[in-house]
Structure 1
């Protein structure tokens, strides 16, 4: 059977379809949960390190286990939701997320915390594509769906920005495990609401589910993301980087070939034959590449060059978040007025202009310049992401919504990893040569070599040397970092303009008419009715 089908109890529409917006609220609570957990641990890491005493390798896995596992399993659970029910997968994700949060909060060893973070990644992979695919199902009208996506993306921005602030408050007043316990109240709220209010829907259920193909995709994405992350950590030529990257890429190539041969594939590769779908996925990768890479470098600049505290740094970055929220809230109106091509293209252009404006940053603090640049950056990037996500979901068939959402979220994760790897590598390549003349001032070679690794290490070496030599090393390193920052911003602007050119493949306008047959099939609310035969809710 093809098309979007529904399961469960008879449905009813209330208030001219108002229940769709209630469903959106529940989905946004789900998204808030995942977005918070992606960033809330960052500020707690010093406390985790002091309490659990993890090794350097364990520390990396505590941070990376969640995003790696989540990225690897998005396609698996996105397509599974199409087969067995998106609501069912989402509710299971809720439960697993809650259990894993409790385990993480009570962890007494690094190994237990790593395992809990991996379980959180599994739960996140079940939740993320399910929210988007359910959103695609309950909003068959494209204009309403655009409004829903705008709210959805605004909530994502709020969650990502709130995570560090909330985490800092909790760590300051409680112990580090409290950053995980905040998930429990959200689960207590979301699980019964989801069970009561969310509709069930499936996609094409003909033929067996390709378990082997799902595992190929999972290990392929895991290898690629792991390799990209290690490259971003400064080991682009190491075997630990090359082997997973090459193995992951090979598995993904084999996965694509397998899907093309199967009569009932996990992911319909014909979607990639649609220029709008492929372009939208590429634009998501480019936008996330720029966003994550620039945020990482901006944090280093604010703290190490301008000398701001972590709290002051967070406050300086708030304009970026507020602008992203504004872009999400106004995205539906903008899309209806200008269409996907102009929205995504001009979003890239605006972001490139913001990046070029930020090249005026130097060693002195210029708050007005930074605020203006971050406002334009946040608004431009969120405009681009909004248009790209909306176009991607609208191009995908309703029966493949879970797979399409998984592709979008995987692209998001890959773009984030590539941003750290690529722009971090550019930054390092532009920063290190600036320290070449330091030995002429009498700075020992060992101190210079250590300083060439990062600005933070340069400051440590400068403090160790002290006196005039320390001042020389500190000043030279700061100047080199600013030079590297400018080079990185120029490279980023070039990539963003490349994205603007790619956006020319998107359609000019959007068709606001709903698919009437699909709208008739898709539920907007569940009304539980017990079946006399089975005691379960029946259609």
Structure 2
């Protein structure tokens, strides 16, 4: 990292004076403190860690709080929903009030809401705490990109730091299952939230001292109307997708939510088109790299997050693995993401973003298709290569197109531009978990009665399994337990196959977007201004 750090100015000197040199962005000369970068990336590490560490804790959480598959979906999506819906405002806010104040304040909030999650004694309380945690996490991702833009004015050095940032995200994804598995087995699901406190406190202390304060160049007002419309539209659609199976897809509540989401999102686009300072500048999408970045991030990461959600349930609830055993088996996926996130940006600079992103999308689709071969209680030797392809797909598709997207927007709008890229990724993740969980839930509810027919099970036990709650399996009589688990496992896997097929189709869309919208880009090119 030394050559990249040398490319930027001295954060330490700027911190002493309280400003960061020229308006163009970074400090004037010297080095960026490695301790500053460590603190900055530690905050991001926590945000990404909480997207995977919670997946490992879901079965233990289900046993403790009595949640079904629908409740588990909300545990994941309540965080992702607020996280994704507020990314645009966070990026725009950094352009207006300053990155240092916003990032450090959000990191304090993330640390406190992590403690709130750990102290939750019911599913309802945990959902509220997770939503609040998502609000603070939404600030950290796009504002970190603004800080990188300020610290590294050089395009090449900045691109490498984006790769490092992606590697940190991949490392957090890799560490999540292992850290989560060890913590859950020893201390319970609450510990996956307590672990955020010491890291958050230390990072805030370092950032307060070393992070330079750059005077924001924009003083325009916030688009509160656009923000409310966006939250309402995405929230209504997510609610309908998760609750549709239990409430009935033709029920007035679900049809009303779907209609409301469609109307609200249409009004949102019309509203943004008429605003002088919109939340989502639609003119950005005139640049093909911005459009491609949004499409590819949405589809590829939606497919991956949906698959990871189901895989963690499969490994623990169906195959009977412990949290640590499940975490170890996902390391091949997450370590591959960490490595290829850096390689993907470098490869994009050499051979072009178009080829790199296309290879990534195809690899993700191939990995998801390979998961269709999984059968009940298959060993690791049957699915390691699918995990490898999923990691390769995420690393080659995501970071290169995000770097290309940022090159395509004006530098003074870096916060808003990064918000566009990350919002598409996280909204895709919300929908990926919602759609995947809904497909499996529907398959369980419709198939459980016939699959369990002929077994001496009380109706309430069948209903519980049909809802995706397997917490009572250990209490079943020994003489019927293996047969029940075998039938339910096959039924559950059949449902996951539907989700994997839909994810592979989404990645096909990403591959087409890469071919049609991404022009050949080498490191010497300058990013164009949209429009």
TM-score (norm 1): 0.80
Q: Which runs of 5+ in 2 are unaligned?
A: 1-13
CA distance in 1, matches of 2:506, 2:159: 26
Q: 1:14 to 1:229 in 2, by over 3 A?
A: same
Q: CA deviation at 1:476?
A: 4.1
Residue 125 of structure 1 pairs with residue 138 of structure 2? yes
Q: CA deviation at 1:194?
A: 2.1
Deviates more, 1:477-486 or 1:495-504: 477-486
Find the counterpart in structure 2 of residue 507 from structure 1. Answer: 518
Q: 1:26 to 1:245 in 2, by over 3 A?
A: farther
Q: CA deviation at 1:202?
A: 6.5
CA distance in 2, matches of 1:477, 1:58: 19
Q: 1:193 to 1:252 in 2, by over 3 A?
A: farther
Deviates more, 1:313-322 or 1:419-428: 419-428
Indicate conservation of the 8 Å contact 1:438/1:448, yes or no.
Answer: no
CA distance in 2, matches of 1:51, 1:463: 15
CA distance in 2, matches of 1:401, 1:120: 24
**3-state SS in 2 of match to 1:159:** helix
Find the counterpart in structure 2 of residue 352 from structure 1. Answer: 365
Find the counterpart in structure 1 of residue 302 from structure 2. Answer: 289
Which of 412, 418, 427 is matched with 1:405 structurally?
Answer: 418
1:33-112 aligned at under 5 Å gives the runs 33-41=46-54, 64-105=77-118
Q: 1:308 to 1:191 in 2, by over 3 A?
A: closer
Cα shift readout 1:41-97 (whole Å, capped 9, x = no counterpart): 455567778888999999886665433332332222221111111222112212222
- Structure number with greater Rg is 1
Find the counterpart in structure 1 of residue 380 from structure 2. Answer: 367
CA distance in 1, matches of 2:28, 2:282: 39
Q: CA deviation at 1:309?
A: 2.7
1:442-521 aligned at under 5 Å gives the runs 446=459, 450=463, 453=466, 457=470, 464=476, 474-513=485-524
CA distance in 1, matches of 2:121, 2:319: 37
**3-state SS in 2 of match to 1:359:** helix
Find the counterpart in structure 1 of residue 395 from structure 2. Answer: 382
Q: Calculate the aligned-residue CA RMSD, in Å.
A: 4.1
CA distance in 1, matches of 2:114, 2:377: 42
CA distance in 2, matches of 1:55, 1:427: 12
Q: How many residues align?
A: 511
**3-state SS in 2 of match to 1:298:** helix
Indicate conservation of the 8 Å contact 2:301/2:429, yes or no.
Answer: yes
1:213-232 aligned at under 5 Å gives the runs 213-231=226-244
Indicate conservation of the 8 Å contact 2:288/2:518, yes or no.
Answer: no
Q: Which runs of 5+ in 1 are unaligned?
A: 1-5, 519-539
Q: 1:346 to 1:428 in 2, by over 3 A?
A: same
TM-score (norm 2): 0.81
Q: 1:172 to 1:197 in 2, by over 3 A?
A: same
Q: 1:462 to 1:190 in 2, by over 3 A?
A: closer
Deviates more, 1:334-343 or 1:415-424: 415-424
Q: 1:409 to 1:225 in 2, by over 3 A?
A: farther
